[in-house]
Amino acid sequence: MKAPATTHKLTAGGLRAPLAVIAVYLVAAAGVWLGWWGTDWSGIQASGRQPPSPEHWLGTNLLGQDIFSRLLAGTATAFEVGLLVSVPATLLGALVGAFAGYFPQRWPDAVLMWLTGTLDAIPFYLFVIALSYAMRDHPAAMQLAMIMTFWTLTARIVRAETLRIRQLGFVAAARVSGLGSWQIIRRHVVPHTVHILLVQAAILFVAAIKAEVLLSFLGLGLQDGVSWGIMLAEASQEILAGHYGNFVAASAALLLLVLAINRMTDELQRSADPRSRGSADPAARHEATRA
């Protein structure tokens, strides 16, 4: 049976600007991954604290490293962390949420929701910092710590959506046609939460970047690389002395990316929200509100 359509028209005009900004960042990060630019971010290329110049567009830091190269490498770091965290955390949240929502009020639901509630009860940054610190010898400690905490909101939202979906006719039809629970979840439930997962992935992407910046700023994040957080930590030692290169570069990059992704997320959310689509189905509005 064909499932009811949940896709809808996105407002192309509203998405164009944030997507353009994100594309610029993506190109910057891809260039670093491909070794086209930003590869010599750790090299000492000039004397310390040079002002912007044709050779060093944003000047150099205390050690004489090129701030622009570090900005580009930091962009790649941000995207790496964002993708490495948001994709697994979203998938994990989707699976947990769908499984819990498909068996409401039964032991899988109770156990998974207890776990979700327990993790949610711990202050987020404190938990990530504690986990990062406890696993600090692991190269991906920070990313693992974030994945372990970021999936819970997605799980709650998907669970709520699954509670709605499992009542729909096409799921009942799949059930009577002999499909098992796991197949129904995989083939019929999860695909119908894709609009939610896209929004959640985008939210988690930016949340992961912000968390990485904070942890690196505190010295608990990236150990063997450069990130906007490390640049901001360096800036914290320089601003009083009137050196703003690191601060302006890293904070502007972070601000612009967060604004662009937030705007994109808003657009995605709006287009996924039945109320904004003018749906006449009061039940759908109710479910959306619960979600």
Partner 1 sequence: MPPARLPWLLALTLLLAACQQSEPEPLKVYRHAIDGIPASLDPAHADDVYAATLVTNLYDTLYRYKYLARPYELTPSLADGFPEVSEDGLTYRIRLRDDARFADDEAFPGGVGRPVRATDVVYSLKRHFLPDTRSRGDWLWRDRIVGLDEGTRLSDPDAPVEGLQVEDPLTVKIRLRRPYPQFTHTLAMALSAIVAREAVEHYGRSFGVNPVGSGPFVLARFDESRAVLEPNEHFRRGVIDLDAEGYDPARHDRFGLARIDGLTFPLLDRLEVHFIPEPTTRWTSFTASSGVDVVMVPPELSERVLAERDPIRLRPEIASRYRSWHGPEAGFVFHGFNMDNPEIGHHPDPGRAARNRALRCALRDAFDWQARNRAFYHGLGQIFPGAIPPILPAYDPDADADSISHSPRRARARLAEAGWQTDNLPRLVYGLESSVHQRQMFEQFRAWAQAIGFPASRLEARAYASFGEYARALGTRQVDLFLLGWTLAYPDAQYSLQLFYGPNAAPGANSFNYANPTFDQLFEQASSLPAGPRRTRLYRQLNRIVIEDCVIIGSLARTRLFLWKPHVLMLPDRDMVGGHFLRFVDIADQGG
Q: How far is the CB of 212 from partner 1 (least distance, A)?
A: 15
DSSP reduced 3-state for 66: strand
Nearer to partner 1, 136 or 290 (CB): 136
Q: How far is the CB of 36 from partner 1 (least distance, A)?
A: 19
Q: 217, exposed or middle or buried, with CB in 10 Å at 0-12, 13-18, 19+? A: buried
Closest CA to 52 of 244, 194, 222, 181: 244
**Binding stretches for partner 1 (CB under 8 A):** 42-44, 48, 62-65, 133, 136-137, 219-220, 223-224, 230, 233-234, 236-243
Neighbours of 139 (CB within 10 A): 11
Nearer to partner 1, 62 or 256 (CB): 62
Nearer to partner 1, 11 or 223 (CB): 223
Nearer to partner 1, 241 or 280 (CB): 241
- Tokens standing for residue 64: 């004489």
Per-position DSSP letters for 183-211, written without gaps between them? HHIIIIIGGGGHHHHHHHHHHHHHHHHHH
Q: How far is the CB of 80 from partner 1 (least distance, A)?
A: 16
Q: Identify any residues that bridge with 66 across adjacent strands, giving them in sequence order.
A: 60
Q: How far is the CB of 248 from partner 1 (least distance, A)?
A: 17
Q: How far is the CB of 47 from partner 1 (least distance, A)?
A: 8
CB 146 within 8 A of CB 128: yes
Backbone angles phi, psi at 236, to 5 degrees: -60, -25
What span, in angstroms and rounded, lies between the C-alpha atoms of 80 and 102? 33
Nearer to partner 1, 129 or 160 (CB): 129
List Cβ neighbours of 3 (8 Å cut-off, separation of 6 or more).
Answer: 170, 188, 191, 192
What span, in angstroms and rounded, lies between the C-alpha atoms of 134 and 129? 8
Nearer to partner 1, 55 or 281 (CB): 55
Nearer to partner 1, 20 or 44 (CB): 44
DSSP reduced 3-state for 42: coil
Q: How far is the CB of 116 from partner 1 (least distance, A)?
A: 30
Q: How far is the CB of 142 from partner 1 (least distance, A)?
A: 12
